[in-house]
Structure 1
Amino acid sequence: MVGSVHAAVDLRHVPADPVLVRVEQGLNVRLHRDTLVRKRRSLGARTERGTWVRIERRAFERIGQQGWNGTEAAAVLLGVVMPRWYQGVTWREADEPVMWRADELELVTSQPVGTGARVREDPGLPEAWWAGLNGSLDALSSQHTYRIATPDTERITQELVTGKLGEVFPAVTDTRVGKWVPAHGDLTWANVMGPGFCLIDWEDWGMAPRGLDAVTLWGNALAVPGLAARVYHERQRDLESRDGKLMALYFLSKIVGPHAREDDPLLVPARREAARLAADLQT
């Protein structure tokens, strides 16, 4: 059934070759199997023509009203440093409420700054990297789209923000978002390349509260105080706006909330920042 909920599949632990063959046929490319990168929800590999193919599997309930052609739709954005999009192919998994999508993109030679969403040490990024980040985020936020950002594959709405903040920070009673702007929606350290700046993985971009992207990058650097301070300095206008503070609490609620882990290296700085922001937003 279209509305049914499908069990998640970790693509790091399932056979990939049948999918790779389907992608090769659909895009008329040959994938280099020795370059295959496996993630929980996606696969990626180089092609014989010097491009990159990203493949994702997503259940119907995670696709939503706007579809999931984010990478293709992002090709119209101006002034944002990202891989060029060339072509894509989509198909439904037989007898399952699941879709597959593969996009052929420009090959980016820089590596992700982080091996995961967070970083544990300062990567020593050059000044040109920070200029690329600022130019791209400023250009992105000045445009418009009818898409809604889906961080963690969930549409970000006023109701979602209010519900999460009310659950973890009930003393913050005014949770109204004042300004919505286009955002990447998943601006973690795994999705920014360095030392040459480039922003990848655009499947979740769309309108979001101001500051979401800056907060995501800052929050995932809290275990490296110097790096977090640099992000804060570079994106100060976003992070010190009221909407930016709400988004910071929204991000921190996932760390300090009911599922907090005492061994999480972000927990101590997250609690400190959450206390500061909650007090500020109550005044």
Structure 2
Amino acid sequence: MPSSAPAAAPADLRIEPVDAVLDDVERSLQTRLDRDTLVRKRRSLGARTDRGTWVRIERRRMEKIGSQGWNGTECAAVLEGVAQPRWHRAVVWRQPDGAAMWRADETDLLPGAPIGTSVLATDPGLPDAWWQALNASLDALAAHRTSRVATPDTVTITQGGVTEAARRFLPDGMDTTVSQWRPAHADLNWANMTGPKFCLFDWEDWGMAPRGLDAASLWGNSLAVPALAERVRQERRRDLESRDGKLMTLFVCAKVLAPDAHPEDPRLEPARRTTARIAEELQTG
């Protein structure tokens, strides 16, 4: 089992030394990682292997690992009808100081490059076939059932959390109960999908969530490009126009309009307009 790892805090794998971790993963999975393809994010790493696959390595603090575990990519392998990389194997180990867990998942290579960063500033000009594949995968995902609960931003989604977010925009005492819970990817953004061929990856946080979470998340990550946000709204309008979808839109807008939001974030004004409209619709509908 791998044993070496950098300290858990501060947790930023973009700047920490990671050679020992990569060496350990290579020994455990019996492969070589192409260091020239290494992608470094705050809490994850990724690289191509010498057998033509991809390995994603994540570090997660112990308090962020709930009773359901954190094997989302492995569990997502059973989902039928969803375009995703095929999962092969994994290795999991505990950091020597006990502060965090590490996990490396090996999957097929993506069929294309990620579309962009999580929030887009320009329209990627995706073909109609891409949108059709997105809809087919999200509809297939919603038809499944799982004991997992979604953890957007590594935080378990609950009725209480939905209510807290929605009541920032709704009158006190208004009913914010979610009526439909369905499987969701729970991290649907433009950095987790490929183009021009559609594929959805990074399944660490998927699980049951209120209807419309994925649609609202993708819409929220598109707000800086009005035409793109409108395309998302049109494609997923059945989810977004449902009562639960409207609650999920408020849930996403609460994050966009957080107190620490950058004052020049182009998503702020469309998010404010949308919350005002949806709050009125929920009160009068």
TM-score by length of structure 1 reads 0.95
Partner Cα separation in structure 1 for residue 256 and residue 127 of structure 2: 29
Residue number in structure 1 paired with 2:5: none
What is the count of residue pairs matched by the alignment? 276
Q: 1:98 to 1:127 in 2, by over 3 A?
A: same
Residue number in structure 2 paired with 1:241: 242
- After TM superposition, give the deviation of residue 270 of structure 1 in Å: 0.8
- After TM superposition, give the deviation of residue 163 of structure 1 in Å: 1.7
Deviation string 1:131-174 (CA, Å, 9 cap, x unpaired) is 110000000000100000000000001011112222x2241621
Partner Cα separation in structure 2 for residue 31 and residue 85 of structure 1: 17
- After TM superposition, give the deviation of residue 262 of structure 1 in Å: 1.5
- After TM superposition, give the deviation of residue 201 of structure 1 in Å: 0.0
Residue number in structure 2 paired with 1:61: 63
- After TM superposition, give the deviation of residue 83 of structure 1 in Å: 0.1
1:72 to 2:74 alignment: yes
Deviation string 1:16-67 (CA, Å, 9 cap, x unpaired) is 1100001001111100000000011100000001000000000111111110
Residue number in structure 2 paired with 1:151: 152
Matches within 5 A, 1:85-100: 85-100=87-102
Partner Cα separation in structure 1 for residue 46 and residue 183 of structure 2: 26
- After TM superposition, give the deviation of residue 96 of structure 1 in Å: 2.5
Residue number in structure 2 paired with 1:281: 282
Partner Cα separation in structure 1 for residue 22 and residue 242 of structure 2: 45
SS of structure 2 residue aligned to 1:198? coil
Residue number in structure 2 paired with 1:3: none
Partner Cα separation in structure 2 for residue 251 and residue 83 of structure 1: 27
1:189 to 2:190 alignment: yes
Residue number in structure 1 paired with 2:123: 122
Residue number in structure 2 paired with 1:110: 112
SS of structure 2 residue aligned to 1:56? strand
1:164 to 2:165 alignment: yes
SS of structure 1 residue aligned to 2:28? helix
Whichever residue aligns with residue 93 of structure 1, its letter is Q
Residue number in structure 2 paired with 1:81: 83
- After TM superposition, give the deviation of residue 263 of structure 1 in Å: 1.0
Whichever residue aligns with residue 235 of structure 1, its letter is R
SS of structure 2 residue aligned to 1:243? helix
1:9 to 2:11 alignment: yes
**Any unmatched runs of 5+ in structure 1?**
1-5
- After TM superposition, give the deviation of residue 9 of structure 1 in Å: 0.4
- After TM superposition, give the deviation of residue 191 of structure 1 in Å: 0.5
Whichever residue aligns with residue 204 of structure 2, its letter is E
Whichever residue aligns with residue 275 of structure 1, its letter is A
- After TM superposition, give the deviation of residue 271 of structure 1 in Å: 0.8
Partner Cα separation in structure 2 for residue 47 and residue 162 of structure 1: 44
Give the root-mean-square deviation of aligned CA atoms: 1.1
1:270 to 2:271 alignment: yes
**Any unmatched runs of 5+ in structure 2?**
1-7
Residue number in structure 2 paired with 1:204: 205
Identity %, equivalent residues: 62
Which aligned segments of 4 or more residues in structure 1 are displaced greater than 6 angstroms?
Answer: none
Partner Cα separation in structure 2 for residue 23 and residue 182 of structure 1: 31
